[in-house]
């Protein structure tokens, strides 16, 4: 592949961008001289800035004057390819692509529109595919052989995060631990505090120490859990890269249905994921770690909060036995 200047577009959440990272590797391995730019949103751009395979990041923050400047800057870049993996219509994605002067544009064309030179399949047409597979499908138009590609995300820890974690482990005399993530993007994905406490006490009986991570807004919940247990420690993550380190070095990660499941996959860490009973969502965002278990709420459309402790214990013991 002759070296190209390529813009990849992901304006969504951190997890959405993480699931694009296998594409970064494919494009860099095709030609290390390929110049990869990322058009990211205000919720995920920090991950893109820290990613070793991305050469430059452009941030879309929805403010009119900033959007005008962004479009002017993107037009000056004169990209060979504009690749937007969103598999449904987005007014923002459509407008930004229309105003670009990229030579070839790949993305989703709604019926009756022709913004993109090559149109990717819709979310309905790709319903039975994982998000990584959906993203990579955009490269079919560039004649890539995708059959042998590893679908696990590509993430890199940094030195400062590693030092921060090592100091924390030394301070608390922790050699081995499970990582527990109690936070999610919506309250419908939360599990009850008392259930987390009971789970941690169950792990304490097995002499397993746990490091809890959360969003800053859930710090009070973490402290409530910790005061009711003796084996849990709160690791405050200042950036998403701090999360990479604590997940990477864990013996197992237990998490709600969030980007942490995909971070675990990047390092092939065994993961126990809690999911609401939405099979289509599970198919799209299921764990990619070699060793994993999913715990799904018991009835159709039920939220994570309906997952019982007994079911958690069962799946936890299955996974622990498997990795042992």
CATH value at residue 307: 3.40.50.2000
Shared domain check, 257 and 110: no
Structure tokens at 275: 């999911």
Q: What is the pLDDT of residues 179-198, one digit of tens each?
A: 999 999 888 899 999 999 99
Instruction: Name the pLDDT band for 144 (thresholds 50, 70, 90).
Output: confident
Shared domain check, 204 and 167: yes
Shared domain check, 167 and 299: yes
Q: Final residue of a domain: which of 110, 142, 174?
A: 142
If one counts the domains in the chain, the total is: 2
Share of the chain above pLDDT 70, in %: 100
Average pLDDT (18-25) is: 96
Shared domain check, 166 and 133: no
> What are the strands, taking DSSP E only, across 182-234?
210-213, 232-234
Task: Say which residues have a Cβ less than 8 Å from residue 11's Cβ, sequence separation at least 6.
Answer: 39, 40, 41, 44, 60, 86, 90, 92, 93
Q: Give the 3-state secondary structure of 264-287.
A: HHHCCCCEEEEECCCHHHHHHHCC
Pairing, β 232-234 against β 81-84: unpaired
According to DSSP, residue 217 is labeled G
Is 244 part of a structural domain of the chain? yes
Is 131 part of a structural domain of the chain? yes
Give the residue from 135, 125, 129, 103 showing the smallest Cα distance to 116.
103
Shared domain check, 289 and 232: yes
Share of the chain above pLDDT 90, in %: 89
Shared domain check, 170 and 32: no
Q: What is the pLDDT of residues 79-92, one digit of tens each?
A: 999 999 999 998 99
Query: What's the confidence (pLDDT) of residue 21?
Result: 97
Q: What is the pLDDT of residues 154-169, one digit of tens each?
A: 999 999 999 999 999 9
Q: What is the pLDDT of residues 275-311, one digit of tens each?
A: 999 998 899 999 999 999 999 999 999 999 999 999 9
Query: Rounded to the nearest 10 degrees, how much is the dihedral formed by the CA atoms of 252, 253, 259, 263?
Result: -30
Q: What is the pLDDT of residues 194-217, one digit of tens each?
A: 999 999 999 999 999 999 999 999
Instruction: Name the pLDDT band for 245 (thresholds 50, 70, 90).
Output: very high
Is 232 part of a structural domain of the chain? yes
Domain coverage including residue 80: 5-142
Q: Is the pLDDT reported for residue 1 higher than 80?
A: no
Q: Is the pLDDT reported for residue 176 higher than 90?
A: yes
Q: Is the pLDDT reported for residue 113 higher than 90?
A: no
């Amino acid at each position: 592949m002759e070296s190209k200047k390529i813009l990849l577009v992901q304006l969504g959440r951190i997890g959405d961008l993480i699931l694009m990272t296998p594409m970064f590797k494919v494009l860099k391995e095709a030609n290390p001289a390929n110049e990869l730019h990322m058009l990211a949103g205000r919720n995920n751009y920090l991950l893109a800035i820290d990613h070793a395979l991305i050469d430059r990041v452009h941030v879309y923050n929805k403010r009119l004057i900033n959007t005008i400047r962004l479009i002017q800057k993107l037009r000056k870049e004169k990209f060979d390819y504009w690749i937007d993996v969103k598999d449904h219509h987005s007014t923002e994605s459509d407008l930004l692509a229309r105003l670009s002067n990229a030579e070839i544009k790949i993305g989703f064309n709604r019926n009756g529109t022709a913004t993109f030179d090559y149109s990717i399949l819709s979310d309905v047409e790709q319903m039975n595919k994982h998000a990584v597979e959906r993203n990579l499908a955009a490269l079919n138009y560039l004649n890539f052989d995708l059959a042998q590609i590893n679908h696990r995300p590509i993430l890199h820890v940094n030195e400062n995060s590693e030092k921060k974690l090592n100091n924390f482990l030394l301070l608390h005399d922790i050699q081995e631990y499970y990582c527990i993530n109690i936070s999610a993007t919506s309250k419908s994905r939360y599990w009850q505090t008392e259930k987390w406490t009971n789970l941690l006490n169950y792990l304490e009986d097995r002499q397993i120490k746990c490091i809890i991570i959360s969003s800053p807004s859930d710090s009070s919940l973490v402290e409530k859990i910790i005061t009711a247990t003796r084996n849990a420690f709160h690791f405050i993550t200042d950036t998403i890269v701090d999360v990479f380190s604590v997940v990477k070095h864990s013996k197992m990660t237990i998490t709600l249905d969030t980007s942490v499941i995909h971070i675990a996959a990047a390092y092939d860490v065994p993961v126990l994921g809690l999911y609401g009973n939405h099979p289509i969502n599970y198919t799209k965002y299921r764990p990619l770690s070699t060793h994993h278990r999913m715990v799904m709420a018991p009835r159709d459309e039920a939220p994570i909060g309906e997952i019982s402790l007994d079911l958690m214990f069962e799946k936890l013991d299955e996974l622990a036995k498997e990795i042992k």
